[in-house]
Chain A
Amino acid sequence: MARSVLKGVRIAGLSVCVPKTVIDNLEVPPEEQQSRDRLVRNIGIRYRRICEEGIIFSDLAEAATNDVLAGVGWDKSTVDAYIFVTQSPEYIIPSTSIVCQHRVGLPKTTLAFDINLGCSGYPYGLYTVGRMLGAHGLKRAVVVVGDQSASRGAKDSGREILFGDACSATALEFDETAPDIFFEGFSDGSGYKAIYVPDGGHRNPLTPYSLIPTECADGVIRKGIDVSLDGPAILNFSIEVAPAAVHSICEFSGVALDSVDRLIFHQANKMINDTIRRKLKRTPEQVPESLYDYGNTSSTSVPTTIVYRAREQFLTPGTKFILCGFGIGLSWATMLVETTPNTYCSTIFEV
């Protein structure tokens, strides 16, 4: 069972940025207005950011990295690891983290690689990198998390209004005095088709047909290279595993759910997030959201929500957070973390 305690690891800083271009989901032709109003009301996403005019995910990564390093006051030469959690690589290969290591100006003594995870990715990124730190290990690391998954003009209206682009950079350091961080991770590959891109990998190599919009079994028109989403399957998965994972990490850490100050969930959609919150009997104040203004920002929705709606608590030492990511894989993970003094946190800034 993937249960683990990180000792001597501190979150020193967090930065989140978004591209400038805003899409308003309610801006549609008059004949679509009524159905779009209903969709926005239920999915709970009004605005989304999208990378346009030459901006790509790596540009957000570079900006977030520079901001967090300035915020925590680390010299670039002291960064030992630079890890990305993304499914929006600059090239298919090599790892985007390595390309950006040079661009950001980190030394050749920095190790770098990418982790291929989506919505569950934030706790995984912090855990994997946190594990490398220690008295006999690395001392300082930056974890970049996020995706470029927003679309404009897709025929799949369910996917079209969902995703927003954003990127976070988290600075982690070895600190003997840091409180324990608890982590649990889970996988269920039987559900891989709930969220996947059918074409372009080795199973279904890219062909000219991959680019032709076709009506799929669920009646939605997609291309083979588009993300295919099975809404009912994702909903049932999310509302089952997320509440159970929260109870599980509480049991593991010995921290009662009532003494957790803020629960930050992946921002999937309002139906999913409201149901999870109701099942856990938490108030909206205990479970902040960023859905309405930023949409589903994939792996970086957890840090985006912290910066947007729990920044004050994040900057208050001794605040207990549960972070929970769930989605594509299927994969999910939770982390229980207590904030420490002298932490840096940006506000959401535009690139």
Chain B
Amino acid sequence: MDISAFIEKFIEAIDFAEPVEITPDTVIAELDNWDSLAQLGVIVMIDIEFSKTLTADDIVTCRTVQGLYNWAQG
């Protein structure tokens, strides 16, 4: 999966009510509507797509969408 496909999956997972612009450099925790539901959506997406267990702390450590993508690939 390339980064643009990953971003599509990410947007689908967070299911924000309003459309949102996401780039590889987007800092996840600083997204306007970032909340626990978005967190759960991303954890499920990572589990389904990459068979990896992502914790709330991992999301903080990864910081950006690119960071999360790299983590998932690692």
Contacts and interface: CB of A to CB of B under 8 A. Distances in A.
A34 B18 CA distance: 9
A271 B36 CA distance: 13
Interface residues of A, number: 21
A39 B37 contact: yes
Interface string B33-74: 000110111011001100001111000000000000000000
Contacts of B36: 158, 218, 220, 231-232
A4 interface: no
A42 B37 contact: yes
Interface stretch (A87-95, A166-174, A233-241): A233-241
B22 to A, nearest CB: 17
A108 interface: no
B44 A271 contact: yes
Interface residues of B, number: 16
B48 to A, nearest CB: 7
Give the interface centre of A158, A220, A235 by most chain B CB atoms within 10 Å: A235
A232 B54 CA distance: 9
Contacts of A35: 17
Majority SS at the chain A contact face: helix
A240 B53 contact: yes
A232 B39 contact: yes
Given A271-B44, A275-B44, A275-B48, A236 B55 contact: yes
Contacts of A271: 40-41, 44
Given A38-B37, A42-B37, A231-B36, A239 B44 contact: yes
B68 to A, nearest CB: 14
A102 interface: no
A43 B56 CA distance: 18
A283 to B, nearest CB: 17
A243 to B, nearest CB: 11
Interface string A14-52: 000000000000000000001101110111000000000
A236 B43 contact: yes
Contacts of A38: 15-17, 37
A76 interface: no
A275 B48 CA distance: 8
A278 interface: yes
B17 A231 contact: no
23 contacts: A35-B17, A37-B17, A38-B17, A42-B15, A42-B37, A43-B37, A158-B36, A158-B37, A218-B36, A220-B36, A231-B36, A231-B40, A232-B43, A232-B55, A233-B56, A235-B40, A235-B44, A236-B55, A239-B47, A271-B40, A271-B44, A275-B48, A278-B48
**Top 9 closest pairs, chain A to chain B, by CB:** A232-B56, A34-B17, A231-B36, A38-B17, A275-B44, A271-B44, A236-B53, A235-B40, A271-B40
Interface of B: 15-17, 36-37, 39-41, 43-44, 47-48, 53-56
